[in-house]
Amino acid sequence: MDMVDMVDVVSRCAFSTQPPRAGNILGLLHDFKDAYKKLIRRGRGPSSGKGKTSGRGHKGQGQHGGVPAGVNGGQTKDEVVAGPYGFKNQFSEKMSPLNLDHLQRWIETERIDPTKPITFKELCESRCLHGIKDGVKLLARGASTFNIPINITVSRASAAAIAAVEAAGGTVTTRFFNREGILQTAYPHHFPVKLRLADATRRKDLEYYRNPAHRGYLVSTLNPGDNPESLFFKKPEEAEKARNLKRRGQAKKQKATDRMW
């Protein structure tokens, strides 16, 4: 480097607004604050606060070994004295979720054939679902981009998912499956003898699967004028007839009571 170039470099460094860059920035690397936890040094004298017994105290189970969680020192356990807290619903159902975007991705990658009916068998064979608990519920995540007409049968379906599938030209059918029905539908090769699938028997299930809004398989059993949301609902004319019969019976009973001889 000649003298002219050296003067140019010095002038640029003198009048530059940016600080000069170091030739080697490795010397500037460092940990930011609280990057590492300070190590507690035990048994290093009384001034350290963790000396002699290293903070374990003197004698006993806690100093010579670990104490399992929940030990009360020989007393009755807390869970025995106080009992379990909270509430556990014995009749709750654990549905395996199936979102529309996940189903569309499986169809686009040709792991599921949309031209054939989609049941538990196709979902399990393609590994779209890794096992089924108490049923499958169709959910509406990705409903805005779903555009494949399909014919799918599931246990439950949300209103938005039903609307998205039907807008794409498909159909949704909800059906009751007990545990044996789920296994027989998902793994038919394990059942050489085909058995009839069990039907719903509980009031909650019957009211769900006979409701047209849920696309239930028991919609055909609903009589005209019946309320699908309640099995105890009666038509107005039938309710009036029942009230009249009750009034006649009460009047007849009162007349018999009022007779003197």
What domains sit in the chain, N to C, each tagged with a CATH number? Answer: 96-221 (3.100.10.10)
Using pLDDT thresholds of 50, 70 and 90, give the confidence band for residue 5. low
pLDDT value at 16 more than 70: no
pLDDT value at 101 more than 60: yes
CB within 8 Å of 242: residues ≥ 6 apart? 234
Q: Alpha-carbon distance 136 to 208, whole Å?
A: 15
Structure tokens given for 240: 């009036």
User: SS3 sequence, the chain?
Assistant: CCHHHHHHHHHHHHHCCCCCCCCCHHHHCCCCCCCCCCCCCCCCCHHHCCCCCCCCCCCCHHHHCCCCCCCCCCCCCHHHHHCCCCCCCCCCCCCEEEEHHHHHHHHHCCCCCCCCCECHHHHHHCCCCCCCCCCEEEECCCHHHCCCCCEEEECEECHHHHHHHHHCCCEEEECCCCHHHHHHHHCHHHCCCCCCCCCCCCHHHHHHHCCHHHCECCHHHCCCCCCCCCCCCCCHHHHHHHHHHHHHHHHHHHHHHHCCC
Q: Alpha-carbon distance 228 to 225, whole Å?
A: 9
Q: What pLDDT, in 10s, does the model give residues 202-260? A: 989 999 999 999 999 999 988 877 778 888 766 667 778 888 888 888 888 888 888 77
Amino acid (1-letter code) at residue 3: M
pLDDT of amino acid 75: 87
Quick one: CA torsion of 126, 130, 134, 135, rounded to 10 degrees?
A: -30
The residue-averaged pLDDT of 177-188 equals: 94
pLDDT of amino acid 12: 53
Q: Is the dihedral of CA 177, 178, 184, 187 positive or negative?
A: positive
pLDDT of amino acid 8: 53
pLDDT of amino acid 90: 84
Highest mean pLDDT (candidates 7-11, 22-26, 39-43):
39-43
pLDDT value at 7 more than 50: no
Contact 94, 133 (CB under 8 A): yes
Q: What pLDDT, in 10s, does the model give residues 33-78? A: 878 888 889 999 999 999 988 888 888 877 888 778 777 888 888 8
Phi, psi values for residue 232, rounded to 5° = -100, 5
Q: Which is more confidently placed, 100 or 80?
A: 100
Q: Is the dihedral of CA 98, 104, 105, 110 positive or negative?
A: positive
Contact 138, 173 (CB under 8 A): no
Segment among 107-111, 190-194, 216-220 with least mean pLDDT = 190-194
pLDDT of amino acid 17: 58
pLDDT value at 14 more than 70: no
pLDDT of amino acid 4: 47
pLDDT of amino acid 23: 59
pLDDT above 70: percentage of residues in the chain: 89
pLDDT of amino acid 56: 86
Q: What is each CA distance from 42 to 60, 61, 70, 238, in whole angstroms?
A: 19, 19, 27, 85
pTM as predicted: 0.60
Q: What pLDDT, in 10s, does the model give residues 117-173? A: 999 999 999 999 998 999 999 999 999 999 999 999 999 999 999 999 999 999 999
